[in-house]
Structure 1
Amino acid sequence: MNRHHFLTGFAASLVTTTTGLSFAALPASQPLVIPLWTGTPPGGGGPHGNTMISSSGAQSNIAIPTLTILTPAVPNGHSVLIAGGGGYKRIQIGKESWPAARWLAARGYTAAILSYRLPGEGWRDHNLVSLQDAQRALRILRQREKRVSVLGFSAGGHLMGMAATRPGFRSYPVTDPLDELPATADSAALIYPVITLEKPYTHTSAHKLLVGAGASAAANAAWSVQNYVTPHSPPFFLVQAENDPLSDPHNTLMMSASCEQNGVPVAMHRYATGGHGFGMGKAGTPTAVWPEQYEKWLHQYA
């Protein structure tokens, strides 16, 4: 499936304004796709052609980053920005983002699926492009919703963690009045996330694409989420299986410890089994219950 097919049926709903992009409340059955940028994304460059979508629904070759908005019939005024994982090589839209979006919309939350640029696809701003898109998406949602939270899986958890802990970081120059809005999150849920790129946890695809083999200790630290937690960071909800073979289980432990050291509310749920990539829960494993725990946690920040 290519980008043309992915957008078919949505184009009539696209709305642009002089200060950015907006969307109206629609039934959850009618998603709205919005490009993040009114022109060329910051830095320029990038891939050509249509977005590629694998048989499992993973996106790559993302030339035009977008938000796909799923609005419930009765919105509760709380939007959740969703970033699927994929090691910054692809985005697991089908396995992670869409199931989460439907689950959220069924409970009154406006779900916003982020199709972010991937750093290995020829963008001139290299490792900044995913964070640029996340910050732009938060600004778009901020102009529409009372509350905005983030939900990230795996490398998407790393991205949402960086966005949530670095709201004041100017990752790109101002492009229009929308960029003057804050890029803050009211709460952040990170599911089997990559948190640190520091040694000895340098084996991940996220490390390879964001800093590269042989990166300095300073570069590794600069892209490690736990180093940016402050007393002003939002509350965090962390989920991981203890037998995760890709994102070392120490990732959630160190993030939880950083939150506790800074007085940031944190709820951590760790499960004996479940592996990696279980999305909204893997049947037959303890991970199947995490969405229920997440729903209770979200209610605290509604």
Structure 2
Amino acid sequence: MKFQYTFLFVVLLNYFTLAQEKVKLYDVIPNASKSEAMLGEENIPVLYRYPLKDADKAVLIIPGGGYSHVAINHEGHQVAKEFNKQGYSAFVLYYRLPKDENMPERKVGPLQDAQRGMQYIRKHYAFKKVGVVGFSAGGHLAASLSNHFGDVKIDNAQPQNLPPDFSVLIYPVISMRDSITHKGSKKSLIGEHAAEQDVAYFSMDERVSKNTPPTFLVHAADDKVVVLQNSTSYKEALDREGIPNTLFFYETGGHGFGLQNKTDSRSWSDSLFVWLKDVLR
């Protein structure tokens, strides 16, 4: 009996160790003004892998944090485990934060890492479908990946390998326009007084095209951090282009609730997985 318990413990330990394996995104980090040793571990992008042996679908998960930190747990690891339960392999992106002291062009650093994350998944696995899931500023980065795949920011990448097959944007920052943007995300990414070309480039509701993937949006009406108009503006742009989409709407919940909105018994993830079955069939 003791042997059986020991064996079971080893099996479980190996499983969870494998499920959370961390891999570096690059051999040589692009757009970096310092060596890795000088950057420090907190500034080195990595991918946490949650693979399932027989999964034919996967997601790249991008946590939020206003481009000032990465909310890796409740908008990353917890979400990966939920997708695992539904038969998806999952990969959590820890991306570089835009910092002038670490990169010559800070505004493209996060997008480089998102493109590299998708490139890595497609290169090392043979999933039939790979989507992207992003929260808050991570939702902005996920939307950037979903619309700027033709503007390749990393070496040895083909544009056709970068677009997600679907997008899931949870209380996302969408616009860089001052009227509705999350000012902290804007300031961190492109600067408080950014040039018009940068504002337009990073306003994702202005970048939607017929090639933008099907999109599932989640937002609460009382979100005072990232206002609802970010999601509704993106939805309107998707509708104009005929892109399949839906907005899972909460009256209450505020911002940053992750998987569970404690003010509402409905689960957005339950609705998402039903929606995905229809979209991906």
TM-score by length of 2: 0.87
CA contact 1:29–1:70 (8 Å) conserved in 2:
no
AA in 1 matched with 2:30: P
59, 67, 76: which one aligns with 1:80: 59
**Percent of matched pairs sharing the same residue:** 31
- 1:72-98 alpha-carbon deviations (Å, 9 max, x no partner): 3x5321110000000011100112101
213, 227, 241: which one aligns with 1:262: 241
Distance 1:278 1:123 in 2: 31
Distance 1:201 1:130 in 2: 21
Matched, 1:168 2:168: no
CA contact 1:241–1:271 (8 Å) conserved in 2:
yes
Distance 2:186 2:235 in 1: 21
Deviation at 1:124, TM superposition (A): 1.8
Greater gyration radius: 2
Deviation at 1:236, TM superposition (A): 0.3
For 1:94-105, list aligned pairs within 5 A.
Answer: 94-105=73-84
CA contact 2:32–2:102 (8 Å) conserved in 1:
no
Deviation at 1:202, TM superposition (A): 4.2
Matched, 1:223 2:212: no
User: What residue in structure 2 maps to residue 20 of structure 1?
Assistant: none
- Would the alpha carbon gap of residues 150 and 67 (structure 1) be closer, same or farther in structure 2, given more than 3 Å must change? same
- 1:52-71 alpha-carbon deviations (Å, 9 max, x no partner): xxxxxxxxx32x21111101
171, 190, 211: which one aligns with 2:190: 211
Deviation at 1:297, TM superposition (A): 1.6
Misfit runs of 4+, over 3 Å: 26-29, 46-51
Deviation at 1:184, TM superposition (A): 1.3
Matched, 1:293 2:271: yes
AA in 2 matched with 1:134: A
Distance 1:210 1:83 in 2: 16
29, 38, 41: which one aligns with 2:27: 38
Distance 1:213 1:126 in 2: 14
Which deviates further from its counterpart, 286-295 or 80-89? Answer: 286-295
Distance 1:287 1:253 in 2: 23
User: What residue in structure 2 maps to residue 153 of structure 1?
Assistant: 135
- Would the alpha carbon gap of residues 168 and 28 (structure 1) be closer, same or farther in structure 2, given more than 3 Å must change? farther
- 1:268-298 alpha-carbon deviations (Å, 9 max, x no partner): 1111000000000122x22751010111122
Distance 2:265 2:153 in 1: 35
Secondary structure of the 2:86 match is coil
Matched, 1:125 2:109: no
Secondary structure of the 1:286 match is coil
165, 189, 195: which one aligns with 2:174: 195
CA contact 1:67–1:112 (8 Å) conserved in 2:
yes
User: What residue in structure 1 maps to residue 92 of structure 2?
Assistant: 113
Distance 2:242 2:209 in 1: 8
AA in 1 matched with 2:131: S
TM-score by length of 1: 0.81
Deviation at 1:238, TM superposition (A): 0.2
AA in 1 matched with 2:134: G
Which segments of 5 or more consecutive residues in structure 1 lack a partner in the other structure?
1-25, 52-60
Deviation at 1:125, TM superposition (A): 2.4
Q: How many residue pairs are counted as aligned between the two chains?
A: 260
User: What residue in structure 2 maps to residue 136 of structure 1?
Assistant: 116
